[in-house]
Chain A
């Protein structure tokens, strides 16, 4: 959904914030929304998320292009629930054969979909506005993540785009060797599994070589590491996190005041 390169305008006021602050803000904002099953709180949250989007330097058009799989799965959930949900309370809106669409079903489906979007969007925004290297740096410097983990993951992440090319190369090599599946679905599955296995073997070999090269340059050798790129966690970053908590809380409060609040537990 989100490529390895940020897609936002890097100089936007909130895009420039510390990656750890952005991540914390997104997580805290989402956690609040998971607490309720009603459609009102997530609807308010989505409105808030869309409203702050320009502050992160993300254009609406870019977001729509990047987040379309999210919308597709949202539609899928609505259709599935409307057709198959066991709960059939409320007024019947449409009746077609065995399918009866009731207001209760529609409300549940809507609540679920809005929650999914509201929880996913902050993550989309964070990764659209954050460079992977900056995130690893900030995780090490501001969140005390072990460098072994953060830099290791970053290096592995860099090899991911190669996997697509590798898959193609393996598939073509197999065809050249006389291996194809034709129209037989079982053979297709077997070919898929064996191609995936070859890809995995290649990825492990490459990963091992990379690990040796990193080892040779003193990675994780027990010497305290210094940092070439400084990441600072400033008052503005703290403010972003506080703002996210406040807005999430406000959405929840509104839902309680309107009487639609349905706690997840209890």
Chain B
């Protein structure tokens, strides 16, 4: 059960010129565990959607054939389970047990078999709570484990995982991988899409690499594939295991103080915290989920009124406005001094095109149009977005949206840049570009604060670290 056959398969979404995926010939036997790789835009998610029977015939144009156990996937839906990236939008019910039961009800499983199968699925993924636990009370990693249980309860022959850990912090991601490893039957076929190859490798025995222009570039055991194609894959953004990233530590000693937080807190989200940010340094803020890292970023960014303590800008950052706290500055003034990059890039987009998005800040702060144009063109080129200048920001891929959100914060040339998880879910290429970009800013005398879980990012960039804990405040360590 769960064998996949693709012959010259291609799919073009209705209204698009480009084929999302094309010319794929692939045979996956029942029980195989396949990692599906490819640079951003190679069509991995579209291929998974096709296997799950989630591409209605009228939603695009198909080439070639795709079969699950010899059937059209749209008619073999009960043989396939899929788990997506975003935990928020795949849980349906308010209670955990009801959510696992949801799929069983839909498939018409007799009522007296439902609850034993729910309990079995929850046990297989190592779910620590009982059925009545509200789904809203779960962490992201727990929600993804529940989504996995919901898929497994249907006993699929083929399990598809579309970057199930991309939105999770490292402990949450580890929980989900453990659950996948422990929950699969020997004859269940697995197709996994995942950027973080090293973490995914223990789950798979075969690697398939899609070619962005169409077709399959490489197919074989992990050793074979990475031996022959490792360098090219790494250059294209795949996190090939065993390849280090160059560090970009600061070269000059930090300059003047830009921002000082004194006993800064917001009960109950953030305990009082002291810190200073200097020009020409990169400060990484670390800590477990719930320690208030994102809250700290908002407070430093002048976006939330402090609950306790103060945030004070120096004259070097704010001139005469240094006497008022950042949260009381007018927005155009704030944007020229402190730039904020949010965890979810989509929250930041205000206009209809990439160009207007970048021009918005400079226009709001009253720059002449010629200067706006040159600033925007420069940023587009620096962040590889020139070809997308006319595109709608909401249609960008994850990496493009992240680069745009950083670029919008830079457009008003703030002295201080504050980023919340800037490298979350990014491919290797975008990741390296972000490190270089932040390092260049730092070396040009800007201050950079990054709230992050990403240990490699910290190692590559940070001059100083601040570890928040869930307990009382802790100070910055050199």
Chain A residues within 8 Å of B, Cβ to Cβ: 4, 131-133, 151, 154-155, 158-159, 161-162, 166, 169-170, 172-180, 182, 194, 198, 201-202, 205-206, 209-210, 212-221, 223-230
Contacts and interface: CB of A to CB of B under 8 A. Distances in A.
Contacts of B63: none
A251 B94 CA distance: 39
Contact of A228 (B114, B151, B346, B394): B114
A170 B346 CA distance: 9
B106 A202 contact: no
B92 A177 contact: no
23 contacts: A155-B92, A158-B92, A162-B88, A169-B342, A172-B340, A174-B331, A174-B350, A176-B301, A176-B303, A176-B409, A178-B331, A198-B349, A205-B394, A209-B84, A212-B54, A213-B90, A217-B102, A218-B107, A219-B92, A223-B106, A227-B105, A228-B101, A228-B105
Contact of A175 (B82, B102, B303): B303
A167 to B, nearest CB: 10
B95 A225 contact: no
Interface string B68-80: 0000000001100
Interface residues of B, number: 66
B88 A206 contact: yes
B348 interface: yes
A25 B363 CA distance: 59
A215 B81 CA distance: 11
A182 B329 CA distance: 10
Nearest to B135: A158
A23 to B, nearest CB: 19
Interface string B288-309: 0000000000100111100000
Given A178-B336, A216-B54, 10 more contacts: A133-B95, A154-B92, A161-B136, A173-B340, A174-B331, A176-B301, A177-B408, A178-B331, A179-B331, A219-B92
Contacts of B98: 133, 228-229
Contact of A216 (B52, B91, B108): B52
A217 B348 contact: no
B94 A132 contact: yes
Q: Which 4 A-B pairs give the minimum distances between C-beta atoms?
A: A178-B335, A180-B331, A217-B103, A213-B90
A174 B275 CA distance: 26
Contacts of A154: 92-94
Contacts of B381: none
A227 B109 CA distance: 9
B188 interface: no
A229 B336 CA distance: 57
B334 interface: yes
A209 B151 CA distance: 16
B39 interface: no
B369 to A, nearest CB: 16
B109 A182 contact: no
Contacts of A162: 88
Contact of A176 (B77, B81, B93, B348): B348
B146 to A, nearest CB: 12
A132 to B, nearest CB: 7
B106 A178 contact: no
A201 B350 CA distance: 11
A173 B95 contact: no
A213 B106 contact: no
Contacts of A209: 84, 86, 89-90
B268 interface: no
A169 B294 CA distance: 11
B350 A194 contact: yes
B92 A210 contact: yes
B226 interface: no
A182 B408 contact: no
Nearest to A157: B94
B280 interface: no
A213 B84 contact: yes
Interface in B85-139: 86, 88-95, 98, 101-111, 114-115, 118, 135-136
A173 B303 CA distance: 8
A216 B82 contact: yes
A224 B147 CA distance: 23
B360 interface: yes
B111 A226 contact: yes
Nearest to B92: A155
B394 to A, nearest CB: 7
A40 B84 CA distance: 58
Contact of A225 (B105, B331, B336, B339): B105
Contacts of B408: 177
Contact of B104 (A131, A182, A221, A228): A228
B86 A172 contact: no
Interface in B120-166: 135-136, 147, 150-151, 154
B148 to A, nearest CB: 12
B320 interface: no
A175 B334 contact: yes
A182 B330 contact: yes
Nearest to B91: A158
Contact of B77 (A151, A218, A228): A218
Contacts of A131: 94
A201 B342 contact: no
Nearest to B153: A217
B205 interface: no
Nearest to B342: A173
Contacts of B223: none
B344 interface: yes
B229 interface: no
B418 to A, nearest CB: 9
Given A201-B394, A209-B86, A217-B106, A178 B332 contact: yes
B77 A133 contact: no
A210 B89 contact: yes
A221 B298 contact: no
A221 B335 contact: no
Nearest to A206: B89
